[in-house]
Amino acid sequence: MAAMSERQNVYFISDAHLGSGADSRQREAQLCRWLDSIAPHCHTLVILGDMFDFWFSYRHLVPRGHLRLLGKLAALSDDGVQIHYFVGNHDMWLFDYLSQEMNITMHDDPAVLSFFGKRLLIGHGDGLGGEDPWFQFVRHFFRSRLCHRLFKALPSSFTFGIAHRWSDNNKRKHARNKVASYRGDDREGIAVYCLRRMQTEHFDYCVFGHRHTPLVRPLGHAVYVNTGDWLEHRSYAVLTPDGNMSLLDDTHTA
């Protein structure tokens, strides 16, 4: 492993949805190779959610699969790489598993982190801007203790089947209605949320996932970066010590 003095970059990645699709194992292998490629340069890894298409952390059981990725994350953490995980709408039930097993810092909501003198507003991106009351209701219910207890009381073979069918239906619906282009600062929920925060706070970058569309654009007094996904784009962002952020794909390492 490289010395920590050689590791200066901050990497951002989101939306691999492992466990979904026939190519899930292939995506996991690509992710592991990517983690190996950035390890010599990585001081901090920021995961912006939905790396798993579904997860539920039981007290004494670990869901099947994703062993290779979990092993890579554990190895990076053990070697001193700082890892932040912002849960998404698909993996919101990770709870404390990664924090206890791998010393990963977990975030349930957007947070502000600072690197190289730059202030970054960071999150997954779901449920922001208040544009969909039904989604907001479902999101709050899924995050409630009542929902956790009800889900845990049911057989895992039953609940995981329901979760994956729900996820697949949602992805098919969004694929039919997908709007790849940016809809405008006043219509994108993430942008609305960021601009609202900017009324009282300063940010240099706003970095989110969820939209599955790689994007870098000015937003207010900041730069909005969306890391895209690992389903189609295999994209990620990197912040270097000079304070500049780039959006790349896994054919490029920085």
Asked if residue 169 has pLDDT above 60, the reply is no
Give the span between the Cα atoms of 113 and 117, in whole angstroms: 10
Q: What confidence tens digit (pLDDT) does each residue in 193-211 have?
A: 999 999 999 999 999 999 9
80-83 LR contacts (CB < 8 Å, sep 24+): 80/4, 80/7, 81/7, 81/39, 81/42, 81/43, 81/44, 81/45, 82/43, 82/44, 82/45, 83/44, 83/45, 83/46, 83/47
The CA–CA distances, whole Å, from 179 to 6, 188, 211, 230, 249 equal: 40, 11, 10, 18, 21
Mean pLDDT, all residues of the chain: 85
Name the nearest CA neighbour of 25 among 13, 37, 17.
17
**4-249: in CATH 3.60.21.10:** yes
Task: Say what the pTM is.
Answer: 0.85
Q: What's the pLDDT at 176? A: 42
Determine the distance from the C-alpha atom of residue 22 to the mean position of all C-alpha atoms in its chain, rounded to a whole number.
Answer: 21
pLDDT given at position 156: 63
| pLDDT at residue 89 in the model | 86
Give me the pLDDT at residue 224, please.
98
- List, for residues 208-230, the tens digit of each pLDDT value: 999 999 999 999 999 999 999 99
**How many helices (H) and strands (E) would you count in the chain?**
7, 11
The answer to whether residue 1 scores a pLDDT higher than 80 is: no
In angstroms, rounded to a whole number, what is the distance separating the alpha carbons of residues 162 and 148? Answer: 15
Q: What is the pLDDT of residues 36-76, one digit of tens each?
A: 999 999 999 999 999 998 776 666 566 777 899 999 999 99
What percent of the chain has a predicted confidence (pLDDT) above 90?
60
Query: If residue 161 lies in a helix (H) or strand (E), which one and from where to where?
Result: helix 156-176
Please tell me the predicted confidence (pLDDT) of residue 14: 97
